[in-house]
């Protein structure tokens, strides 16, 4: 039986960069309370984490740290919402540990409701475009200069949505690396203080169709992560953020 949340839900933040600070600032607005903050040295603070009574962890760290953070949280029995990207070469290992120890993890390349509406529109348009082979597609994403992975996890999820719906596309790659037929080219830029822009362009010799998502702040990502924590509490298993949103 799933546990019911008795507000406020007690949250541990693992990673205290810009996203961690945004989550902390908005926690109270959705009946959550940050009771523990751990950054790079948090493994030395495990006893403090246990004593905090944290019910769910929200992990936004780095590609280098995310897998080890999740494995440790699984061992501690703390459900975890993970927004870190760029570490998916270890996904199988982390998922196996989660299922073996009856843990609870939700992964998401992006938790914003606006982005998930964008994903749903992207898949629908790709499905329709399958009937019009004169159109080809390309993606463009821009983030701040501190983002380490490229392309972004959101861009990869967008590309996968097209691959799932359009038989002419089998894979994706950075545009500077590939012009292979059947590959979706992704242009990735890093500019100062860009919260996140993702654009999908379909083009033929006759015309062009483009739609995009532009984040004005990190608030959408932060609120989505907090809502994911509320959704995840009391559940066991391996989840993707798409399971929280039902736009299909």
Task: Enter the tokens of residue 49.
Answer: 């984490």
State yes or no: is 143 an active-site residue.
Answer: yes
Q: Which residue has the tokens 């509406």?
A: 117
Element (H, E) at 104: strand 104-107
User: What are the start-end ranges of the H helices in the chain?
Assistant: 18-26, 46-52, 66-76, 91-100, 113-129, 153-165, 219-232
Q: Which residue has the tokens 């483009």?
A: 210
Cβ neighbours of residue 13 closer than 8 Å, sequence gap 6 or more: 20, 23, 24, 34, 36, 37, 38, 57, 58, 60
Spatial contact of 58 and 229, defined as CB atoms under 8 Å apart: yes
Burial 120-137 (b: 16+ CB within 10 A, else e): bebbebbeebeeeeebeb
Considering just the CA atoms, what is the radius of gyration of the chain in Å?
19
State the CB neighbour count (10 A cutoff) for residue 192.
7
Q: Which of 18, 124, 147, 195 is catalytic?
A: 147
Q: Which of 123, 143, 183, 198 is catalytic?
A: 143
State yes or no: is 160 an active-site residue.
Answer: no
Catalytic residues: 143, 147
């Amino acid at each position: 039986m799933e546990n019911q949340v008795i507000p406020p839900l007690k949250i541990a933040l693992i990673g205290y960069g810009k996203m961690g600070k945004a989550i902390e600032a908005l926690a109270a607005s959705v009946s959550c309370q940050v009771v523990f903050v751990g950054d790079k040295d948090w493994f030395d603070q495990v006893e403090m984490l246990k004593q905090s009574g944290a019910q769910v962890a929200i992990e936004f760290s780095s590609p280098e740290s995310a897998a080890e953070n999740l494995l440790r949280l699984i061992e501690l029995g703390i459900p975890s919402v993970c927004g870190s990207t760029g570490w998916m070469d270890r996904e199988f290992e982390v998922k196996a540990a989660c299922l073996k120890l009856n843990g609870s993890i939700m992964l998401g390349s992006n938790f914003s409701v606006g982005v998930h509406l964008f994903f749903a529109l992207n898949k629908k348009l790709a499905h329709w475009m399958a009937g019009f082979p004169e159109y080809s597609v390309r993606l463009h994403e821009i983030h701040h200069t501190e983002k380490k992975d490229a392309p972004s996890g959101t861009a990869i999820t967008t590309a996968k949505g097209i691959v799932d719906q359009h038989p002419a596309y089998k894979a994706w790659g950075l545009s500077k690396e590939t012009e292979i037929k059947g590959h979706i080219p992704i242009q990735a830029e890093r500019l100062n203080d860009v919260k996140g822009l993702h654009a999908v362009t379909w083009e033929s010799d006759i015309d062009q169709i483009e739609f995009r998502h532009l984040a004005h702040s990190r608030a959408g990502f932060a609120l989505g992560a907090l809502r994911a924590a509320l959704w995840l509490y009391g559940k066991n298993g391996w989840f993707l953020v798409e399971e929280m949103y039902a736009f299909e």
